[in-house]
A and B are shown apart, each in its own frame.
Chain A
């Protein structure tokens, strides 16, 4: 309890600072920045790692243990170009789209919250949003999420194709794919923080 309480002091101060001493329009800037750069891509990525990574691993895992992957190879198809590449490409393209949608919803709800709970006026929120807004921020966020998409799909493919025989093997691969996908997102996020900022 104490630790929870003590740990909350900085954030409470932080909020106090932003809602009190500093001009209110910083709220808009804060909402915009964090959502575009961090929360949007990372939270969306994690949610999709659960859905997309798991479904890829389950699908390819089932194909592996029922010998459909072997069958594909005996028909002269290459498993990398036929199974992995299209899935990684699709996720690389789709993650940013979903993330962009999440970003707009996030900023919108930030705005609703600000005007209702913080008594902020819409022009002030917008002013803040624009103040520290760089067009680049959105692009950084979207590029990050594209890399998350590639990583999540790749982990799903690799774990799926690695599945051991039996339904339990597929389940295990699916779980591993999700865990690895989330880990990859955190690592990539740190990487982008170093490279882009």
Chain B
């Protein structure tokens, strides 16, 4: 049995950590590339949302490396994500690929069957070992996030462009390679230390932008065209509404672990949005208000084209923008999005923010 799973940014690090901790054989799909996307687009329904298409591409590429079993998260509505696993399975079947799938979701009908399938995959591992493995995976995701938050702070300040990202890449590798709790800790602190030593220009004016929106487009640099790196080059410090470990703790571990970084988005979203709308639409609106209260200079919303919860949020953000007096840029991404277009748009956006700051300063004088 060779296990695989879809990519979503750095997600592969904890997932691989989890499975390897249990001595299971893992095939990490090749990182998403243009080829992955092309494969996905070719075989997916035309109007499916972008994450589904890339998932599918990941599976096809993993298949070529011998994977035969898929593990992925699921859901029971109200958004499309809950049907991904089933629909992807059907498409793969039509292509002649027979995968076994294990969908992590609240089992609807057959709880026993679900447990049986989990057991089949974990084999002779004890439940205690499984708990340890989950803890290990969570720690990995937390380590990735700590490093990433620091990277986001340093990018706009580094003296020599590219230094931070080079260290970041190494850091991810060393976290990924850590096989035990102790090596993981070592790798993390070493990476943080290295980042602390990056030469910076601390008097540079940094623009703070909150990145909000749909999870996949937030976490996967391949689909968001490396927007964070590009913003860093423009002197922007980025904070996202969503980090990997937060999603794992809230979505997969049902909040067993509390995280001080998670904002009370439901309260913040009032009175603009008073109900869940699937996906991360509620978070998007809540974090928009939260970030602007914290004095962020601007917000960028990312979403796959046709993403329903984000369209709802987008419409509501118009009002937030007005009331909170904060510039907001919404960017929809699909298979036709290009980097040049993205850069033009964010450059114009950052320019606008800088000009506004300049005017404010002049008025204050």
Task: Say whether A and B bind each other.
Answer: no
